[in-house]
Amino acid sequence: MASENVPLVDLRAQYLALKPEIMAAFEEVLEGMQLFIGPRQKAFEQEFATYCGCQYSVGNASGTNALELALRACDIGPGDEVITVSNTFIATVEAIALVGAIPVFVDIDPETYLMDWRQLESVLTPRTRAIVPVHLYGHPVEMQPVMDFARAHGLRVIEDASQAHGATYQGQRVGSFGDVGCFSLYFSKNLGAFGEAGICTTNNADLAEKMRMYRDHGSRVRYLHEVIGSNARMDELQAAVLLIKMPHLERWNAARQAHAQTYTEQLRDVVDAVPVVRDWGSHVYCYYVIQIPQRDQFRAALQEEGIGTNIHYPTPLHLQPACAQYGYKAGMLPVTEALASQIVSLPMYPELTEKQLQHVINTVKKYASSLASNR
C-alpha cells in the first residue's frame, strides 16, 4: 500500500481553495492603499462579533495583543493577581506579565484538561483581580461556575478563546461570557489569517472603546494621545483574508468534528484517553489530543509512516524558565504535570481525507498492538 503523508496541519489546502478570491481582495486592498483600520477590518469585526453573539469586537494584531488589550482595558496592572492555568500556550501568561500583573495557576480537570473551577477559592487573595479561563484545544471551560465565582468576588473574566472559535457552552459561543473574549487569528487556528492577527469580543461599550484606543497608540483622534497605548492594529491584508474565510468557519469546524468522531470511535479502546466532550458544550478540535504510553516512541513510529504529531504542550508554564520568578515548583500542579508527559496531538484540519484518517488510525492501532505484544 502506498503510504499517505499526513501532516499535523495542512495550511495550503485552504489557501488553494480560496486563492482566486483572496488574490482579488489583495489587489483591491493594495490599489486602495488603506492598509490599517480599513473597511475590511470593520466588516470582519462586525461579522465576528455577530457570530460570537457579542455587540462589539476589536480587531488587532495577534492573540497575545488581544489578551493584553483586554487586561489593560479592565485596568489590570502591577501587583494585581490573575488566576489562570499552566496547561496553555505561553501567550496567556505573557499577556498577564506584560501588563505588570502576576499569574496565579490552578490545576486542571483530569478529563477535559481545562481549568478546574473548584480550585479558584483556594488561590483567591485580596489582590486577585481577574480570571483568564482558556478554552484549550477547542473545548469550552465550564463557564457558569467561573462566572458565578467571579461575580461573587468582583473579579473580571477574560476568556482566552484562541483555540475555540465557534465552540459553545450551553448553546452560547465562547468569547461572549466574560468581560472580554480574546481570539488569536494566527494562521493555524480554526480561523486564521495569512500571518498574525487577533480579535477581542465584548458586550461592554466602554471596554470596546478602551481597547480600540490602546491598539492605536492610545488615540481616538489622530495625534491626540489620551493614554500610553501600543501598536496593535489589524493589518487590512489580513482582514481581507479573514473576511473571505469567515463564512467557511462553521463548515470547517463541522469537518473537524466529523474527523474527531472517526478518530474517537476507532481509537477509544486503543489509546489511554481520547478527548472528552461534556454534554453542556461543543468541541471544535483545534487540536485532537490523546494520551498514549511511551509517547516519544509513539511519535517516532508515526513519523516513520509520514504522520506528523505534536505536543500541546510539553512543559507546563509554571515550570518554564520564564516563570521561575513566580515561585512554582514541580509537584504543585500534579494533574497538569502528569498530563504533559502523556499527551500527543494527532493530525487535525478540515481538509483531512478519509484515506489520511484511516492511515493515521491504522498506524496508531499497529503501534498499540506492538506495545501489547511486548508486554
Ligand X SMILES: *Cc1c(COP(=O)(O)O)cnc(C)c1O
Residues carrying an active site annotation = 189
From candidates 84, 86, 163, 201, binder to ligand X by CB under 6 A? 163
Distance CA 43, CA 52 (A): 14
Q: Which is nearer to ligand X, 14 or 64 (CB)?
A: 64
Which residues, in sequence order, are CB contacts of 320 under 8 Å at separation 6+? 90
Cis ω for the linkage preceding 56 (within 30 of 0): no
State the CB neighbour count (10 A cutoff) for residue 339. Answer: 20
Q: Which of residues 198-217 bind ligand X (CB under 6 A)?
A: 198
Distance CA 68, CA 1 (A): 50
Judged by CB under 6 A, how many residues of this single chain contact ligand X?
Answer: 15
Give the CB-nearest residue to ligand X.
Answer: 63
Stretch that binds ligand X, among 32-40, 68-76, 89-97, 112-120 (CB under 6 A): 89-97
Residue 126 beta carbon to ligand X: minimum distance, rounded to whole angstroms: 28
- What single DSSP character describes residue 232? -
Residue 250 beta carbon to ligand X: minimum distance, rounded to whole angstroms: 20
CA atoms within 13 A on the CB side of 293: 11
Q: Which of residues 172-201 bind ligand X (CB under 6 A)?
A: 184, 186, 196, 198
Q: Which is nearer to ligand X, 124 or 311 (CB)?
A: 311
Q: Which is nearer to ligand X, 62 or 119 (CB)?
A: 62
**Cα(first)–Cα(last) distance of the chain, in Å?**
29
Cβ–Cβ < 8 Å for 141, 115: yes
From candidates 14, 60, 162, 282, binder to ligand X by CB under 6 A? 162
From candidates 88, 190, 201, 203, binder to ligand X by CB under 6 A? 88
Stretch that binds ligand X, among 86-94, 125-133, 235-243, 332-340 (CB under 6 A): 86-94
Residue 236 beta carbon to ligand X: minimum distance, rounded to whole angstroms: 17
∠ Cα 336 138 123 (to 5°):
40
Q: Which is nearer to ligand X, 198 or 229 (CB)?
A: 198
Stretch that binds ligand X, among 68-76, 112-120, 159-167, 252-260 (CB under 6 A): 159-167
Q: Which of residues 43-72 bind ligand X (CB under 6 A)?
A: 62-64
Encoded amino acid at 115, one letter: M
Which helix (H) or strand (E) is 83 found in, with range? strand 81-85
Mark residues 112-131: x for contact with ligand X by CB under 6 A, - for none. Answer: --------------------
Mark residues 252-281: x for contact with ligand X by CB under 6 A, - for none. Answer: ------------------------------
From candidates 9, 58, 108, 134, binder to ligand X by CB under 6 A? 134
Distance CA 343, CA 364 (A): 14
Q: Which is nearer to ligand X, 113 or 298 (CB)?
A: 113
Q: Which is nearer to ligand X, 62 or 128 (CB)?
A: 62
Grid cell 492501532 is found at 365
Residue 309 makes contact with ligand X by CB under 6 A: no
Distance CA 296, CA 85 (A): 25
Distance CA 283, CA 271 (A): 20
Distance CA 336, CA 157 (A): 22
Q: Which is nearer to ligand X, 113 or 367 (CB)?
A: 113
Cβ–Cβ < 8 Å for 258, 351: no
Cβ–Cβ < 8 Å for 149, 155: yes
From candidates 86, 92, 119, 190, binder to ligand X by CB under 6 A? 92
Stretch that binds ligand X, among 160-168, 200-208, 218-226, 241-249 (CB under 6 A): 160-168
Q: Which is nearer to ligand X, 183 or 328 (CB)?
A: 183
Distance CA 281, CA 301 (A): 34
Cβ–Cβ < 8 Å for 20, 238: no
- Chain residues that interact with ligand X, rule: CB under 6 A: 62-64, 88-89, 91-92, 134, 160, 162-163, 184, 186, 196, 198
